[in-house]
């Protein structure tokens, strides 16, 4: 496999991970922000919408940056499923050692 193919594979893996991770993060942000801003949306929809959008953009930026740093730090270019399986195996070994 060429370096270009590896980079494309890594970029695709990162994009998929970021997209999949975006749903639960956005959902949790929505659960926190939207109920708090119901009155504000009714009184001043434009500024409320701009502020809520900026919060979502900021959270998305932090999530993307965080994932980018993880991918860079660990030089992840392997199959994501292999990575996830090895992570679960490590957790399983850890918890088996902690049993009484």
* Residue 79: per-residue pLDDT: 56
State which residues form the domain around 42.
3-97
Q: Which residues in the chain show pLDDT less than 70? A: 1, 6, 75-83, 99-100
pTM of the model: 0.63
Question: How many structural domains does the chain have?
Answer: 1
Short-list 23, 17, 34, CA closest to 70: 17
CA distances from 29 to 5, 49, 56, 91 (A): 35, 14, 8, 28
- For tokens 């009155």, what's the residue? 39
């Amino acid at each position: 496999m060429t370096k270009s193919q590896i980079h494309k594979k890594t970029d695709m893996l990162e994009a998929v991970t970021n997209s999949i991770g975006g749903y639960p993060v956005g959902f949790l942000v929505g659960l926190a922000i939207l109920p708090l801003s119901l009155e504000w949306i009714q009184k001043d929809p434009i500024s409320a919408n701009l502020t809520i959008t900026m919060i979502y953009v900021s959270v998305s930026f932090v999530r993307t940056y965080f994932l980018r740093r993880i991918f860079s730090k660990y030089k992840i270019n392997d199959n994501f499923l292999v990575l996830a399986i090895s992570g679960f195996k490590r957790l399983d070994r850890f918890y088996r050692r902690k049993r009484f």
